Amino acid sequence: MAGSVETAAPAPAAATPTPQREFTTDDYFQTQRPPANLAEKKEAMRKWVDKWAGVEGKNVVLVTSGGTTVPLEANTVRFLDNFSAGTRGATSAEYFLDRGYAVLFLHRTHSLRPFSRHYSHSLNPFLDLLTITGDSIGVADPQAAKLLPILRAYNKAQAEGTILSVEFQTINDYLWLLRAATGVMAPLERRAMFYLAAAVSDFFLPEDRVAEHKIQSTKGSLSLEMDQVPKVLRPLVQEWTPEGYIVSFKLETDEDLLVPKARAALSRYGHQLVIGNELHKRKHEVVFVERKMREKSIGDDRIRGAETPPLADSDAEGAPNFRRDLKKKKEVFSETWLHLNQLAPNRPEAEIEEFIIDELLKRHQEWIDRGAK
């Protein structure tokens, strides 16, 4: 088997209760076993990335999509899930392909996929579109007219190999695959974009606390104590791909939290952009939050934004450092709202991802150009 083999300490016997501990990213990878087929998947990703690395001017984006699960049993009958159908990721991947990017699509098994998402079995069952004439099957108008450009784009991506899909199911699969994918893309330096739309579990059960077999309901109520998943955005930005253009998403149900939480993430992790979306409006409205670093003496009033407010953020890994760092520098943020009804007033079928991707392309190109100076 080719490629480097990921290693982790052998797992202790399952279901031995151990005291709860705080996992750093390093602890996590040292104690949690990689998924069985990691080496093969990593090698497939490496080959695919190498192919595009050799094509001048070809940019590559990692799109993560769908929600991760936390299995409660090793022989899994039950698991906790994170909300995400994979619409954002699958739709965005199509627009990236259309704009000439190669797309590494890291997605939850059975979540929506580029192109086929238009014919999801629940919303638009494919069989309902088909007609039979004698022994021939066809697609009647107006469905055929809608299908044609989708099929053309799908066939083009397949023929050119511009999309590689890699599946995850659990939070553990996701973290190992994310690190592997980032590692193989890092040599692309600024040509690599990371578009982290997956909904990632915040809590997990370390494998030494996962029951081996189906938990029996005869034992009465179930109490679970879960550990916090390390925030991998920090090493991703600072160690795994320091030159990549990194976009994370922030999902909130309270709209007022979107901008402060997005700013906090930028300050904490130091990446380029957070796209904030409120659960119910996410298909029509998003906000781009970016950090503009300026020396206090410059007093640049051309940048819309404000100084970072002090944080009281429960998921604030490293919050004390963040506050200390604030004293050293003045941070200014800009916010750009995208409203679909303003961007495409006469196109009822328009998707906000089209506009998200076009905005991102401009920023990514600036990032590449700045690196070339």
Distance CA 287, CA 259 (A): 8
Q: What is the footprint of ligand PMT within residues 209-228 (CB under 6 A)?
A: none
Q: Kindly tell me which residue out of 102, 103, 193, 229 binds ligand PMT, with binding defined by CB under 6 A.
A: 229
Q: How many of the chain's residues bind ligand PMT (CB under 6 A)?
A: 20
Work out how close the CB of 81 gets to ligand PMT at its nearest, in angstroms, rounded to a whole number.
12
Distance separating alpha carbons of residues 215 and 134, to the nearest angstrom: 54
Please identify which residue in the block is written with the tokens 């990335």. Answer: 49
Q: Dig out the tokens for 120 from the structure.
A: 């999801």
When asked if residue 231 is in the footprint of ligand PMT (CB under 6 A), the reply is yes
Residues in 49-68 that interact with ligand PMT by CB under 6 A: none
Return d(Cα 356, Cα 344) in angstroms, integer. Answer: 13
CB distance 185 to 244 below 8 Å = yes
Q: How far is the CB of 34 from ligand PMT (least distance, A)?
A: 17
Q: Which residue of 196, 262, 340, 360 would you call a contact of ligand PMT, by CB under 6 A? A: 196
- Report if residue 282 touches ligand PMT, rule: CB under 6 A: yes
- Identify the residue whose tokens are 């590494």: 104
Q: How far is the CB of 220 from ligand PMT (least distance, A)?
A: 31
Binding residue (CB under 6 A) for ligand PMT from 87, 162, 170, 308: 87
Q: Which of 195, 160, 167, 158 is nearest to 45 (CA)?
A: 167
Both tokens of residue 207? Answer: 């494998």
Name the pairing type of β-strands 102-108 and 163-168: parallel
| 107: contact with ligand PMT by CB under 6 A | no
Decide: is 182 part of the binding site for ligand PMT (CB under 6 A).
no
Structure tokens at 42: 């990593």
Contact 106, 63 (CB under 8 A): yes
79 Ramachandran zone, left/alpha/beta (phi>0; psi -120 to 50): beta
Taking the complex as a whole, the smallest distance from the CB of residue 134 to ligand PMT amounts, in Å, to 41
- Is residue 369 within 8 A of residue 245, CB to CB? The reply is no
199 binds ligand PMT (CB under 6 A): yes
Q: Which stretch binds ligand PMT (CB under 6 A): 16-24, 162-170, 197-205, 351-359?
A: 197-205
Specify the stretch interacting with ligand PMT by CB under 6 A; choose among 26-34, 85-93, 324-332, 338-346. Answer: 85-93
CA distance 219 to 81: 23
Residue 80 in contact with residue 70, Cβ under 8 Å? yes
Under the binding rule (CB under 6 A), the answer on residue 25 touching ligand PMT is no
- Give me the 245-274 binding string for ligand PMT, x by CB under 6 A, dash otherwise: ---xxxx-----------------------
- By CB under 6 A, tell whether 86 contacts ligand PMT: yes
Exactly one of 72, 233, 316, 340 binds ligand PMT (CB under 6 A); which one?
233
Residue 345, class by beta-carbon neighbours within 10 Å (0-12 exposed, 13-18 middle, 19+ buried)?
exposed
The piece of 79-87, 145-153, 207-215, 319-327 that touches ligand PMT (CB under 6 A) is: 79-87
Task: Output the smallest distance, CB 161 to ligand PMT, in A.
Answer: 25
Applying CB under 6 A, does 71 fall inside the site for ligand PMT?
no
User: First and final CA of the chain: distance in angstroms?
Assistant: 41
**Binding positions for ligand PMT, rule: CB under 6 A:** 84-88, 196-197, 199-200, 202, 229, 231-233, 248-251, 277, 282
